[in-house]
Structure 1
Amino acid sequence: MNAFLKLIRFKNLLMIVALQLIIKYCSLDMQHIPTALNDIQYLLLVLSTVCIAAGGYIINNIIDQDTDFLNKPADVIAGKAISESMAYNFYAGFNILGVGIGFYLSNIIGKPGFAMIFIAISATLYLYATSYKKTFLIGNILVAAITSMCIIIVGIYEFYPILTEENHIQLGGVFEIFLDYALFSFILNLIREITKDAEDIKGDTAYGMNTLPIVLGIGKTKKILLGLGILTILGLLYYINTYYINNELYYVAGFMLLFVVGPLLYFVINILSVADKTAFKKLSTVLKLVILSGIISILVLALNIQANA
């Protein structure tokens, strides 16, 4: 069981579940915002998202066996603790279930064409693992974009089917917040993916991959990460001041400064001095904690709005 949980990156899946449940039950419902899906249908949306993500992690584990033996041998599951053929069966099963649920939900809301979203995400994760991961920067951008879709897909399925002239301003405003968080998620995950590539440069180089650290070198990569980190901090400070402090949402502003901006400052201060795999892994973990804090901030924001009501 432990091997299976590692194969599907269980902890990462829990973060997806937490994100989507917080959006629904600790934000939309708490603020009495109208939505299209009932509880069962929404849980199916979460399940579909998790299944497709699990499939992505599995195919990535299968394809990366050789490089992972060099970069992180303890994380190799497919072909070791679980046979490669069994891993492929799990991959197929999760994708069939995820896309199937997506097709069902798309028909429930009267938009069968929306099922293409799930098919496209599943196909993109496969192409990432088999081809784009080896391509300069494209793989990083794809992973970051797909991660941000975990937020956007909620808005698509919850708002679009019930959009009317009467509620389009309210729902449009909420969806804009979703897009803000999705952008934040995209940038943070992009920074983390590049940091992970720097961490894995030895094994990736041995197998002919063309990640950003391999093409540009560690020195330039660290400068790019520094620049992205500084721009992210400046963007967050502007956002916190404009949308939180100016609207007297001081609790969420304080939370963001302490648990999001603070760790990002730590990342920026230390990124140029990292010199080995362990140091890069530490900074990657810091970014993961920042992403988790971003998820929790959605709950803090909803509570702050409710307290000010």
Structure 2
Amino acid sequence: MNTRSLTLDPTPEPLGNVRDSAHGTARIAGMALLVALAGFGFLVPLLWQGDIARQDYNAILSPFSGAHPLGTDHLGRDMLARLAAAVRLSLGLALVSVASAAVPGVLLGLLAAWRGGLTDKCLGLLTEMFLALPGLLLVLLVVAIYPGSFLALYGAVALVLWIEYFRMTRALARTVLASQAVTASRLLGFGPLYIFQRHLWPQLAPVITTLAAFGAASAIMAIAALGFVSVGVRPPTAELGLMITELLPYFAEAPQALALPIAVIFLIVLSLLLIAGRQKP
């Protein structure tokens, strides 16, 4: 009776390591894509002397050419310069909105978890008041009151985003502060700063990083949505959602012009979602 011998790997690679490797590769790809987009936004003005507001009625909806590498829009404005400006605007507003939401959200979450009692209840009630109003509606109300204001735009987005930072920070900090390690540190006389650096921050950092990536993606989509319904920034500002609105009636004549801002939004959001992925605590 013939037998076959099979050579098996005595130490197969754990499935968790394979997943971690895949998530690590996805994060690297997301970072590379985001760096490429940011480089496009900030290097184009240095390498290409295009004016985002200059109109050329002799080159309306022109295709890709040497004079206009990405063509022109319905007013003959250079799409390369306008897309670069729109990327800078979207990334800048998203960064400011996330920072403006993360700092108060994390600090208030830590305060609620640390103090507890009445402080926790009051801050929890505050978040419930914000949650009672849909986020996009709140942004629309603020932007409608202050139309065309960049300050109102990113401030309104930050008002929506800070709630998630607060809730996640409070929930995680409660668990960490109730642990035996924190109790031991307190008995040994260590202060709040040591407890934050040694116990809280290592647990909070991966969660905050993930929330920041998702929050930036949400901010960019919200800004584009506001531009699409014409309640965000005003023309002739180059903004991705506003560009889509302006070019939508000319889809049949120049589909490539409409596809460009849509593709940019897709790539920015994709890069941020890849970066968020699954963070290891």
- Structure whose residues are more often helix by fraction: 1
Q: Which has the higher contact order (CA 8 A, sep 6+)?
A: 2
**TM-score normalized by structure 1?**
0.34
**TM-score normalized by structure 2?**
0.36
